[in-house]
Amino acid sequence: MAEQEQSRTEPATPFKLEEARKRGSVAKSLELNSLFAIGVLLAVMYLWGEKMIRAQLRLGAEVLSQAHLLDLAPGSVARWFPGLLEASFEGLLPLLLPLVVIAVLGSLLQTGPVFTFEPIKPQWERLNPVTGFKRLFSVRLLFELGKSLVKLVLASAAVYFLFRDLMPQFIGLLQSDPRVAIAFILQHGIRIVFYLAIILALIAFIDAMFVRWHFADQMKMSRRELREEVKRREGDPRIRARRRDLQREMLRRARAVRRVPEADVLITNPTHLAVALVYRRTEMSAPRVVAKGAGELAMYMRAIARKHRVPALRDAGLAQALFRGVDLDREVPERLFPQVARVLAWAYSLRDGAAARGEAAR
C-alpha cells in the first residue's frame, strides 16, 4: 500500500505546474532555439549576406591600406582599435540584432514569460556525489548523448558530400575575380546552411517531443502528494467542514435576526443572551424560538426589539435554558411551558394595555 502511495502515476495538477514555473522549471527545447537561430541566419544570408561580406571586406582593405600608418604602441592601439571594432560591429548588426530577438522570442514561444532567479541560486544538493552519479545514467543524459551523436554524424555527412562536390570549384576560385568568389561562396554557403537547417528541424522536433514527455513524467505525482496538495491549498478537510458549518450557522442566525420584529417577546440574560419567541395559537402547538444570539448579536437583537416595540423581559435562567436547549425554528420543550407561558402572558398583557391606551387616546 505504501508503495502505491509513493508511485507517481498521476499527471501533475495545474497548481504544481504553476509552482514549478515560478521556480523556472519548464519544458523548453534548446534545439528549437537553435533551429530558430539557423533560420534567422539563413534569411539574413539570403537578404543581406553579400552586403555584409562586402562591407567587412572594404573595412579590411581600408585597414590594410593604412597599415603602414598605424601606431602599434599600446596607448595608440587603445585609441584606434575600439573604433575598428565598432565599425565591424555595425556591419554585422543585420545578423546580430535578429539573432538576439529570435533568441528571446524562441523562449517566449515555448514557455511564455518566466522571470525567476531560482535556477541561479546555489543548491547544495547538486554537490551530492550520489545524486551526480545517478544523473550520469539518467534517461535525459542518454538521450542528449544520442542526439549529439546523431547531429554530429548527419551534419558531418552533409558538409562532407557538399564540399566533396564543390572542392574543384573552390580551388578554381583562387584565380577568379573576388566579386565572383563572394557570390559563389555566399550561394553555396546558403545551400549548406539550408541542409543543416533541415537536419536540425528533424532533431528539434524529436527533442521537443522528448522534452515535453520527460517534463510531464518528472512532474507526475503520487496519490499522497495529491492529497497533501489539496490540504495545502484548501486546508484540512475537517477544518473546511467546520468552517462551512459555522458559515451556515451564522447565515442562519442572520436570517433569524430579521425575524425579531415579528416576535411576541424577547427574553434576555440581561445583556449576554437574547432569545425571541413567537406563538400563533391557531398555527403552532407550542411557542417557537425564531431568533437567538449572544454578545454583540444579542445587543443588536435588543435594539431591533426596541425599535419595533417588541416586549423584552430579563430572565437569566429561562434565557440560558432556551439559548442552550432549543435550536432555531424549534418549539419550546414541555418542561419550559410554565415559565414560557408566564412570559407570554406578561407580553400579551403589555401589548393589550398599550393597544387600550391607544384606543383611549383616539
Length of the chain: 362
pLDDT value for 159: 82
Domains of the chain: 12-115+128-231 (no CATH), 256-361 (3.40.1690.10)
28 in Cβ contact with 239 (< 8 Å): no
**Half-sphere exposure (CA, 13 Å, Cβ side) for 201?**
8
Candidate ranges 9-23, 43-57, 290-304; pick with highest mean pLDDT: 290-304
Mean pLDDT, the chain, rounded, equals 79
Q: How confident is the model at residue 88 (pLDDT cuts 50, 70, 90)?
A: confident
**Half-sphere exposure (CA, 13 Å, Cβ side) for 53?**
18
At 176, the amino acid letter reads: S
Q: pLDDT tens, 236-263?
A: 667 777 778 788 777 766 776 788 888 9
Instruction: Sort residue 346 into left (φ over 0), alpha (ψ -120 to 50) or beta.
Output: alpha
Please indicate whether residue 230 or residue 221 has the higher confidence score (pLDDT). 221
Residue 296's alpha-carbon distances to 186, 274, 302, in angstroms, are 87, 10, 10
Q: pLDDT tens, 172-197?
A: 766 766 667 777 777 778 888 888 88
Instruction: Sort residue 348 into left (φ over 0), alpha (ψ -120 to 50) or beta.
Output: alpha
pTM higher than 0.75, yes or no? no
**Per-residue pLDDT for 127 more than 70?**
no
**Half-sphere exposure (CA, 13 Å, Cβ side) for 342?**
7
Q: What are phi and psi of 326, to 5 degrees?
A: -130, 125
Starting at the earlier edge strand, list the strands of the sheet with 288-294. 288-294, 273-278, 265-268, 312-314
Residues in contact with 228: Cβ distance below 8 Å, sequence separation at least 6, in sequence order: none
285 in Cβ contact with 331 (< 8 Å): yes
CA distance 237 to 198: 55
pLDDT value for 125: 58
CA distance 362 to 358: 6
Q: pLDDT tens, 278-319?
A: 998 888 889 999 888 888 888 888 888 888 888 999 998 999
Measure the N-to-C terminal CA separation of the chain; round to a whole number of Å.
Answer: 85
